[in-house]
Structure 1
Amino acid sequence: MGARTTNHGHRFAPTVWPRAARWAFVLAAGALLGVVFSYYWRVFYGLDARGIPPLWPTVFCVVLGAGAAAAALALRHIKDFAVRGTVCILLCGILFAFANPPLQTPDETEHYLRTYAISMGRLDFDADRGYPEDVSRLMAAFPGAWVNAHTSAGIGVDPDTQEEQPYNTAGYALKQYGKDGTVQSIADSFAQYLDGEGKANPVTEPISFLILPFLPGALGMAVARLLGFGALGCLYAGRLGNLLAYTLLCGLGLRCARKARPAFLCVMLLPMSLYMGASLSYDATLLACYYLMLALLTRPRWTTRTAALYAAACIFANGTKPYLNLLWVVLPLLLTQKEWKARGKRLVWVALCAAGSLALTLLVENYGVLMRHNYGTIARQGGEAVNGGAQLAFVLSNPLRYLAVLLGTLYENDGFLGQLGLFGWKDMPVAFLSLTGPLVLLAAALLCTPRTETLGRRRLAGLGLFAALYGIGAMTAMYITYTPVGMVRIVGLQTRYFLPLWLLLVLAVAALARQALTPRLTAEKAQRLALPLCGGYAFLGAVLLFQHYFVGPVYTVYLK
């Protein structure tokens, strides 16, 4: 297109300039916000007082702000909702992979060691087999449950008044060895590993006998090892491998979903989901399989391809976390005969899912037994006070007491819906995310209120019943397998176990809102609004997680 002219003969700039100006403005705005945020960090968290040059945090925040602005602007040009959401999941997940320090995701030490062993070609399990020396140094530098295990309280000095005042490091990644010891940060752990201080105790293979769910991370580690990276580089490469698998499965879920796509994008981009998806945990692929199966249940018709994809995800989920996930095999029965267009009857496919799930479960269990060496007797997790048979008998003989245990556990844990900002081993609370997480889910529910987004009463009722059974089943499983007999609360429950239930909750709230309101929102506009809402929240979650681990707080800097 040529340049346009006015009546006076003056020529306008070519039409490409408004786009360039828009990019320049957005990038400048992102960079400016980065400068403001870096100044906030420097003042409130005392970075200058710690001897950190102002240029470092400023450049970091400017690059992060400009990068986020550029990504947001670029995503606007992707028309396909599934592709746009997939790219957003990948970009935000990369931030979480690096905002989370090494080995801080639940059980990540064990998962790291098993993934590293698989990346070396070890497909059996040997308790006497060790790792390279830098792996042992990484284990020593980053102990698990880094926050709560070292939370300190004592007397410090106020930087303004120089008077003594109490301090507490809870909720921030700081530790103190001994009453009068020096307060250390995550940076000290990085320095300890990179400097190679001292000789770490050798580590051997963990009590973990899974192969399949760790393959994506192992592939990432194998590539890193070929490129010459050490233990730390392999950790981040493994996380990125897992994130890629999580992203692809979530992208497939967004592609397959025919209803309530903003709800799926929201839950996939929740900070808790990305925290697990960008870790070495097998929950990365497990959660993505949950989201994919629920996305398939929004389709108005099921073909043979749909049924096969659901069966594959269901069988994989059962092979990763057995028995409880058997509940997923019955969900195809929610479809009516008119909606079922796959070859074979629904009951045949349900039987296929059940048989495949049980077969993979038994294969994994027997493989773990036959291929393990030098482990001896493996102690029961939780000690001798845990006894599954005795606990089950206790539940069956005291149903009302167990009901009180269920309700009390939900109450003490804010129904787990109020812990969407609780990371690590439940020891890194980001209060802002816990407060706003339910609000973001509510906003996603409102974006699913157009009349075209309804799933129908049959499916909603069936999914509601499934959610209740699955939630009670998850809690009961932890009570039987990890909790001392007769204890009045359930041990080991984490918010991530309930993420698929929150997705179903969003669908239920959307159905109620659709009846109570008269929405004028269209599905197309809802999808356009979903990305900035959910993507922006995920980006903020990564920044706040980084802030809690690497930046604050200020008052512990001035300890005696």
Structure 2
Amino acid sequence: MPRVPSGPRFWCLAYLCLCAPVCIALALIVPPGEVADEAAHLARAAALMQGDFVGHRENVRYADGSTHVAAGVRIDPAWIRVALSRPKDFCGGLAADDGTPDARGRLFMPLYTVGTYPPFLYAPAAMGLAAGRILGLAPEVCVYLGRLANATATVVLAMAALALATRGRAALFALLALPMTLSLAASFNQDALIIALSALSAALLTPRDPAGPGSRLRISGAILGIALVVLAKPPYAGLAAMLLVPLNRAETGSLARHAGRRLAAAVLAVLPAVVWTAAATAFVATPVPRYAYEAGPLWSGPRPATFTATDPKAQGQILLDKPARLVTLPGHFFGTIKHLTVLAKGAVGIFGWLDRPLPGFVYGIWALALLGPLFLLRQGIAPPWPERIVLPAAALASLWLVVLSQYLTWTSVGADRIDGPQGRYLLPLVPMLVLAFARIRPGPVGAGRWPAMLPVAAAGIDLVALPLAALSMTVSA
């Protein structure tokens, strides 16, 4: 079978030449606010630029006349005007009134869950906004600098992952080059950095020799990367399982000492998120207000039962009343063809407020680019079978936590379905599977086989297709 260039330099140059221009184009073409949850993430970056590291609670009056406590930030009204590309009630949600400006003229913007996130992954975008303000640029222009700063940070992390990986570069390239990843990178959404950090953490752990050159630096970098991801999204705690491999021993000392060190590393990566989540839940987090609704069929309490917001405590009690629901509710979600189709398309890429699908041929190309190497690249030495069990199991556990978190924090009380899971939520888990199944290839260093080039070809097509798709977007009034 013919061989093609496949060393770290090739993959880094391919990403720089094919993906970085797409990020720049999307950052400049897509209207502000027209990326998943971008308005809330932009507000977080603007607040961080002002020195507010996390959201806070305030009483907010809503369109139906009710008042709720909401987590959010106070920012310059100019940022709110730029961030909101559509009416506040566009998706049928309960819109908040503008409220009263404070002494500095800043308005409160409810963010709910986004208001509880730590500030670290908003730093690049905040620096972009700050650079624009220092230059005296209008907020409408500063927004594009913030997007470009977030894209730059994502590209740097992605190229570091491709440079440091010793196996699985084609799979990591495919993940990092997906239209969804590039769209998120070209926005204020922190999810692109989460995906890139997950990929970098896996890349740092790809060497099979746990005592090889630079192993301590690699493990330390992986701990930091995983810790930042789990801090931002606690359901991804399963990523810490990557720190347990390789399960075979190649260093001196006892097996118990080796396992103990790796387990300590995993705990160290998760512990900051435990502390942050506990503090954020106690002092920042609030339910999401809704128009008054009657509890769903799983509610076993007295009726009528009218709720005016989400209620994680009530949802948790519903799950605990019948623990089988911990399995059956996610199982029903993933057992529905419609949900699986939406998740698959969302993982590849959907623009706008998840209502601007890409041209159909883009999904076909990426299906071939992702599945082709999976079935055609079968040569090489596979990781030991325990790793091929532990890492997928941890990925499934994280996915289960992600879906259940949507039931607790986003789904209406008592509903017999789960609302909210999106395809992009799957992407940070992909590096675990790369680490579990990527083979050590025989043959000369830097040589690969042609199926590995399918993601590169797809990225080359996206170099034209994605900017054209962005140009065709229109904003609904």
The alignment's TM-score, normalised by the length of structure 2, stands at 0.74
Is 1:389 aligned to 2:389, yes or no?
no
Is 1:542 aligned to 2:453, yes or no?
no
Shift of 1:467: 2.8
Match of 1:405 in 2: 332
CA deviation string 1:487-527 (max 9, x = no partner): 2321111110112445666788987xx9xxxx99x943549
AA partner of residue 96 (structure 1): L
Structure 1: runs of 5+ lacking an equivalent: 1-75, 150-200, 553-560
AA partner of residue 348 (structure 1): R
Match of 1:326 in 2: 237
Distance 1:451 1:491, change over 3 A: same
- Count of residues paired in the alignment: 413
Match of 2:372 in 1: 443
Match of 2:424 in 1: 496
Distance 1:472 1:220, change over 3 A: same
Q: C-alpha distance in 2, partners of 1:431/1:395?
A: 43
Q: Which has the higher contact order (CA 8 A, sep 6+)?
A: 2
| Aligned residue among 35, 38, 42 for 1:112 | 42
Say which is worse superposed, 422-431 or 411-420, in terms of deviation. Answer: 411-420
Q: 1:319-358 maps to which residues of 2 (within 5 A)?
A: 319-322=231-234, 324-339=235-250, 345-358=258-271
AA partner of residue 246 (structure 2): L
Shift of 1:222: 0.8
Q: C-alpha distance in 2, partners of 1:140/1:349?
A: 45
Is 1:314 aligned to 2:226, yes or no?
yes
Q: Which of the two has higher C-alpha Rg?
A: 1
Is 1:283 aligned to 2:211, yes or no?
no
CA deviation string 1:344-382 (max 9, x = no partner): 734224324324532344246537866x7xxxx944466
Give SS of 2:136's match.
coil
Contact kept, 8 Å, 1:257 with 1:296, in 2: the verdict is yes
Shift of 1:305: 1.4
Distance 1:473 1:363, change over 3 A: closer
| Aligned residue among 448, 456, 459 for 2:387 | 459
Give SS of 1:204's match.
strand
Contact kept, 8 Å, 1:217 with 1:239, in 2: the verdict is yes
CA deviation string 1:462-499 (max 9, x = no partner): 33222322222322222233223442321111110112
Shift of 1:274: 0.8
Is 1:270 aligned to 2:200, yes or no?
no
Q: C-alpha distance in 2, partners of 1:98/1:145?
A: 26
Match of 1:135 in 2: 79
Q: C-alpha distance in 2, partners of 1:500/1:381?
A: 29
Contact kept, 8 Å, 2:223 with 2:243, in 1: the verdict is no
Contact kept, 8 Å, 1:114 with 1:205, in 2: the verdict is no
Identity percentage over the alignment?
23
Q: C-alpha distance in 1, partners of 2:411/2:77?
A: 36
Match of 1:214 in 2: 122
Distance 1:86 1:491, change over 3 A: same
Contact kept, 8 Å, 2:238 with 2:395, in 1: the verdict is no
Contact kept, 8 Å, 2:22 with 2:182, in 1: the verdict is yes
Structure 2: runs of 5+ lacking an equivalent: 59-72, 93-104, 291-307
Give SS of 1:366's match.
helix
AA partner of residue 334 (structure 1): V
The alignment's TM-score, normalised by the length of structure 1, stands at 0.64
Distance 1:270 1:321, change over 3 A: same
Match of 1:425 in 2: 353
Contact kept, 8 Å, 1:119 with 1:222, in 2: the verdict is yes
| Aligned residue among 63, 75, 80 for 2:9 | 80
Shift of 1:429: 1.4
